[in-house]
Copies of this chain bind each other. A is one copy, B any other.
Amino acid sequence: MYTTRFIQLKYLVPNTVYTIFIPMVSSLLVYILYVVLGYHNIAIPLLPVTLIGTAVSFYVGFKNNSSYDRMWEARRIWGGITNSSRMWGTMVLQLTNDKETSKKLIRRHIAWCNMLRLQLRRNKVWSETYYQRYTSPLQRNDEDSFEQKADRILTKYLTPEDYAQVKKKGNIASYLLNMQNADLKALKENDVIDAMEYMTMCNIIQELYNNQGGCERIKNYPFPRQYAVFSRLFVDVFMFILPFGLISQIIELTPTVPWLIFPVCLVVAWIFNSMEQVGDFSENPFENAVTDVPMSAMCRSIAVDLQEMMDEQDVQERLKPINGILM
C-alpha cells in the first residue's frame, strides 16, 4: 500500500513506458502512410472513434469499480480479523485464570494470522514476470522461501507439540483454528468455561473461518477473465485506431505540423491505458506487490495489541513504511 500522497516516480515510470507502445506504433504507421507516403485513404471519420472511446471508458469504469471493490473488501476482511483478534484476546484473558493457557491460546492466534498472510502471498495469481513490473523498484530483503518463513512463525508462536502436529498439513491456518476449538472444548469439559462461554468462543472461531475463507475467495477467484480480457482488448483496439481517426482533423487544422498526431494520441492513449491499468494491478490485493493490503503491518499490529492486553513488557514495534510502501 502506498503511504505517500503522491506516488514516487520510480513506481509510475515503468508503467508509463509500457503505455506508450501501441499508440506510438500506430501513430508512426499512420504518419508514414499518410504524411510520408501521401496515402490519404487510410483516414477514417473521428466520430465513430470517439463513440468507441465513450463506450470503452464506461466498460473500463465498470472494471475499475469492481477492482476497487475487491481491494476494499480485502481490506475490510483484514479489519475484521483485527476486530476478532482483539475480541479473542479479551475473552481468552477473562475466561481462563491460568496464565499459561491464555498465553498459549493467544500466541497460537498470532500464528494463525501470520500463517494466513504467508499462505495468501505464497503463490502469485499470474506469472512472476507480470508482477515484476510493479515490484521491481522496491528493495525487498525477503528472499526466503514460504517454508522458511512459515517455520520461523510456527516455531516462534507455537508449543513444540503443536508444531509437530501442524507442520505437515496442507492448510495450516485452517488447522490451527481446529486446534483452538479442541482446546476450548477441553476447557469446557474441565468446567473452566461454561456452555455459553464456549458458544461465544465458537462464534469467534466461525468469524475467523469466515475471514480466512473470504481472503481465499478473493485470492483464488480473480476478476473473471472474460470481463478483464475484453477490457484490455477494447483499450488496445481503441488506441490502435485512434490515429487513423485523428490524422485528417489534425491535417485540416494545422497542415504544416502533422507530427502533432504523436502528442495528441499519446495523451489520449495514456489516459485510457492508465485507467485500464490502475484497476488491473489493483484487483489482486495479496500478491506481495506494492498495492497489497498491508498484511505484514496488520499482523504485527495485532500482535502488539494482544501483547499490550496481556500486560507484557517488551512489546514489539509496529511496522513502518519503507520507501513510501507499507507491506
Q: Give residues in A with beta carbon < 8 Å to B.
A: 1-2, 4-7, 40-48, 50-59, 61-62, 64-66, 68, 71-72, 75-76, 79-80, 82-83, 86-87, 89-91, 93-95, 126-127, 130, 169-171, 174-175, 177-178, 181-182, 184-185, 194-200, 202, 205-206, 209-210, 212-214, 216-217, 221, 224-227, 229-230, 233-234, 237, 241, 246, 248-250, 253-254, 256-257, 260, 264, 267-268, 271-272, 274-275, 278, 281-282, 291, 304-305, 308-309, 315
Q: How far is the CA of A256 from the CA of B42 in the complex (A)?
A: 11
Contact B44 A250 (CB under 8 A): yes
Given A214-B79, A264-B48: A200 in contact with B202 (beta carbons within 8 A): yes
CB pair A170 B94 closer than 8 Å: no
CB distance from A223 to the nearest CB of B (A): 9
- Residue of B whose beta carbon sits closest to that of A127: B5
Inter-chain contact B68/A206, CB cutoff 8 Å: no
Give Cα distance in the complex from A69 to B165, angstroms.
41
B86→A174 contact, CB < 8 A: yes
Residue of B nearest to A210 (CB): B83
Number of copies: 5
Q: Please, could you name 14 A-B residue pairs with CB atoms under 8 Å apart, sorted by A?
A: A5-B127, A7-B226, A41-B254, A45-B253, A68-B227, A80-B210, A82-B216, A83-B206, A83-B212, A83-B214, A87-B209, A94-B184, A170-B304, A196-B196
Chain B: CB-nearest residue to A229: B7
User: Does B59 contact A275, Cβ atoms closer than 8 Å?
Assistant: yes
Which residues from chain B contact A75 at a C-beta distance below 8 Å? 217, 221
Contacts of A195 in B (CB 8 A): 194-197
Whether A271 lies near B237 (C-beta < 8 A) is yes
Additional 6 contacts, C-beta under 8 A, given A6-B229, A87-B206: A2-B226, A48-B268, A79-B213, A86-B213, A174-B309, A175-B309
Is B177 touching A90 in the complex (CB atoms < 8 A)?
yes
Kindly identify which residue among B44, B58, B264, B274 contacts A58, using a CB–CB cutoff of 8 Å: B58
Given known contacts A171-B305, A209-B87, A309-B175, A64 and B291 CB-to-CB distance under 8 angstroms: no
Whether A272 contacts B55 in the complex (CB less than 8 A), given A213-B83, A291-B224, A308-B171, comes out as: yes
A82 to B210, CA, bound (A): 9
